[in-house]
Amino acid sequence: MATITCRVQYLEDSDPFVSSNFPVPRRPLQYDLNEHLLLNEQIAGIHKLLEAPLKLEECALQLASNGNYLDLDSSLAEQRDDLEQLYDDVEKGKKPILILRTQLSVRVHSILGLGRVSTNMSVAKEDSASSQDDATDEIMDRLVKSVTQNPTERASSPKTRKRSRGNRKSLRRTLKSGLSVDVVQALGLGSNNGKV
C-alpha cells in the first residue's frame, strides 16, 4: 500500500472551554496519505484542503474511531503496530476518518494561560520554560488518569444503608408473643416466670 485514502475533518477546539464544537465539514472530505512520508510533511495538505481556521504549527491528527493521536514525526508505516484499527478498516474497504485539531499540549497551555486551573492543582510559577512543561505534564497525567480510571477505582464516600423498620417490627412481634425462660436468661433480662 503506497497511499491510504482517508476522510478528513477539522475540529475548532482552540478554546478548550467551548464544548459545543463538532467536526467540520459535516461530510468528511477524502484525502490520500502517502504511507511512507512523515505526517508532518502531509498535514499542510490536509489543512489547506479543509481550509481550517487552526494554526498549522499547532495542529495534530486524531483517529476518530478510537481517539488516538498520530505521531506527526513518523510515517503511517512506522506507526503500523499502533494503528491496527486504521489498517483493519482499510483492508475492509473502509476509509478511516482523521480529525485535524489543536494539539493537546497547546490546549493545556491555553488553560494555564487563562488562569482557569482549579485551586487544588498546585502549579509552580517559575520563569523557566522547563518548569512550565513539567507543570503541563503533571496536569496532563492527572487528566489522563482521571479519565481512564474505572468508576470503582475513583475515590468515593462509603455508602451507608438506612436501617429497615423490619428489624424493629420483628423484635416487637417476638416480645408480644413472649419469650421462653432460656431466652430471657440468655438475654440477661432476669425474669424467671417462664414468659415475659
What pLDDT does residue 46 have?
Answer: 95
What pLDDT does residue 117 have?
Answer: 44
CATH number at residue 27: 3.10.20.90
Answer yes or no: is pLDDT of 122 > 60: no
Summarize the confidence of residues 56-74 as an average pLDDT. Answer: 91
Its pTM surpasses 0.85 = no
Contact 14, 52 (CB under 8 A): no
Which ranges in the chain belong to alpha helices (H)?
39-50, 84-91, 104-114, 129-148, 166-177, 181-187
Question: In which band, very low, low, confident or very high, does the pLDDT at 152 lie, cut at 50, 70 and 90?
Answer: low
What pLDDT does residue 95 have?
Answer: 93
Q: What is the signed CA dihedral for 186, 191, 195, 196, rounded to 10 degrees?
A: -100
Answer yes or no: is pLDDT of 13 > 70: yes
In a domain, 132, yes or no: no
In a domain, 39, yes or no: yes
Summarize the confidence of residues 28-49 as an average pLDDT. Answer: 94
Domain that holds residue 102: 3-119
What pLDDT does residue 71 have?
Answer: 93
In a domain, 53, yes or no: yes
Q: What is the rounded CA–CA span in Å between residue 78 and residue 3? A: 14
Answer yes or no: is pLDDT of 43 > 90: yes
In a domain, 130, yes or no: no
Report angle CA 52, 56, 59 to the nearest 5 degrees.
85
Answer yes or no: is pLDDT of 103 > 70: yes
Buried b (16+ CB within 10 A) or exposed e, 150-160: eeeeeeeeeee
In a domain, 78, yes or no: yes
Answer yes or no: is pLDDT of 67 > 80: yes
Q: What is the rounded CA–CA span in Å between residue 115 and residue 26? A: 33
Q: Which of 193, 174, 172 has its CA nearest to residue 182?
A: 193
Answer yes or no: is pLDDT of 80 > 50: yes
Q: Which of 103, 100, 102, 90 has its CA nearest to residue 25?
A: 100
In a domain, 131, yes or no: no
The percentage of the chain sitting over the pLDDT mark of 90, rounded to a whole number, equals: 35
In a domain, 140, yes or no: no
Q: What is the rounded CA–CA span in Å between residue 188 and residue 32? A: 87
Answer yes or no: is pLDDT of 159 > 90: no
- AA letter at 78: E
Answer yes or no: is pLDDT of 54 > 80: yes
Q: Number of structural domains, the chain?
A: 1
- Select, from the ranges 101-105, 107-111, 128-132, the one with the highest average predicted confidence (pLDDT): 101-105
The percentage of the chain sitting over the pLDDT mark of 70, rounded to a whole number, equals: 67
- Non-local CB neighbours of 80 within 8 Å, separated by 6+ positions: 87
In a domain, 192, yes or no: no
The grid cell for 66 is 478510537
